[in-house]
Structure formats: structure tokens, C-alpha cells
Amino acid sequence: MRLIAHRGFASMAPENTIAALTSAAGRADAVEFDVRRCGSGELVVIHDETIDRVTGGIGTVADTGLDELRTYTVLESGERVPTLEEVLSALPPAVEINLEMKELGIAADILDAIEDVENRVVTTSFLAPELRTVREIDPSQPTGLLASRHLDAPVTTAVELDCDVIGANYWRCLTTRLVPRAKSLGLEVHSWSIERPLTAKLLELRGVDYVSADRPICV
């Protein structure tokens, strides 16, 4: 089993920043981060639709230009909201990347950004249209469906979208047939978010391939 640093081990460092992600790259098999488009058109690495929680500013990412974003720091850390290109340039090539597409209409630009990246990148999303766009543009690009708790047939949906990976909440992985069904169909299974090594061990016995955590844990 392999470990994914969720937002760069968000409980240990300012989430989704270059400092968090590069530090986590030395302690995990993969790093996970979130991508949106800001008001001036650049792809930026930030989780929320608004900037309020992580920067103390007010407004949506979509309405805030990059120059304004750079005037804020993330969680009072001194770190700034980075662009996707900055993050990709900073990460060592050996670490895998789980890149979550947080909104519609960014898949094509993300594919352009990762075209020459040496890392294994899995483009993931809860949004089926973005996963379809990736598959249509680049059939070889690994994709992963993130299964919302409201999605009734996640494995079937992942297969219909021609995904390589399915991600789901750890409780769903442990208490439903999702994992054995996914594995029988050749899907790689990712589970989030883990706090205890025992939970990771149970997921490993279940057949999960990767677990996501907010801090380093033994897996």
C-alpha cells in the first residue's frame, strides 16, 4: 500500500502550498492537491471555491486575479497561493501526483500544463464532464473518479468514464462491495482520509492500493 499526502499533509503545513507539497514529497509516495482557475485566467492550487478560509480575504477564486491572490498568505504562514506551473516545477519527478480538478472547464489547460511533466500524474475529479474531456483529448492520461457519497453506482460510473482509478471515503471502502468490485474490473483504488495506521492496515487487507492522509502515517 502507498501513501498520498492530502493537500501536502494539511495538518502539518499550510495546505496546497509549495512548502507543504515539496516537504510531503519526501515523506509520501504521492502528493494530492486541488486546481481551480483564478479571475485572471491562471490555474492555481487552492481547495475552496472562495479565498476566505485559507487567505483571510473575501471573495471567490474565480473573481480574484493572480496579482491580488499573491497579496495574501495561506493560513498566515507566509506561503502564497501557487500556480499549477509553479507546483509542477517544484516537485521532484519521483513523487506521484494526484491532481484534483475542482471545477468545470479546466481539463484541457491542465493537460497542457502536465504534458512534459516526468511524474506520474493522475487527474481526478468528482466532475464527470472533466474526466470525459481528459479521456477525449488524451486517452493515455490516467484519470480517477472521486466517488461522492451521493453517487449510487461509483464503480459502474468509473468504468463508463474509462477511468483507471476510483477514490472513495475509507468507510465506504470498508463497509461496501466497492473495493472488491473495483479490483475485479482492474481499477486502482484510493481511499481517504486516514488518521490511524490501523485503519490503513484494514484498508490494505481489503485491497486498497493508496490511502490519503493529512499527516504522515505508517502504511
Q: What is the mean pLDDT of residues 109-136?
A: 98
Residue 8: closest CA among 29, 26, 33: 33
Q: What is the mean pLDDT of residues 37-51?
A: 98
* Grid cell at residue 14: 499550510
- pLDDT per position as a tens digit, 3-27: 999 999 999 999 999 999 999 999 9
Residue 101: closest CA among 146, 34, 49: 34
Q: What is the mean pLDDT of residues 193-208?
A: 96
What pLDDT does residue 203 have?
Answer: 97
- For the chain, the structural domain boundaries read 2-213
Model confidence at 118: pLDDT above 80 = yes
Name the region of 210 (left: φ>0; alpha: ψ -120 to 50; beta: rest). beta
What pLDDT does residue 218 have?
Answer: 75
CATH 3.20.20.190 for domain 2-213 = yes
Model confidence at 219: pLDDT above 70 = no
* Grid cell at residue 18: 509549495
- pLDDT per position as a tens digit, 127-183: 999 999 999 999 999 999 999 988 999 999 999 999 999 999 999 999 999 999 999
Q: Amino acid letter at 177?
A: R
Question: What are the angstrom distances between the C-alpha of 175 and each of 77, 125, 182?
Answer: 38, 23, 14
Rounded to the nearest integer, the mean pLDDT of the chain is 97
Residue 128: closest CA among 119, 120, 136: 136
**How many whole angstroms separate alpha carbon 182 and alpha carbon 159?**
9
- pLDDT per position as a tens digit, 66-105: 999 999 999 999 999 999 999 999 999 999 999 999 999 9
Q: Chain-centre distance of CA 131, in angstroms?
A: 13
Identify the helix (H) or strand (E) that includes residue 129: helix 128-137
Model confidence at 199: pLDDT above 80 = yes
**How many whole angstroms separate alpha carbon 123 and alpha carbon 113?**
12
* Grid cell at residue 93: 519527478
Q: Chain-centre distance of CA 23, in angstroms?
A: 16
Contact at 8 Å (CB) between 161 and 132? yes
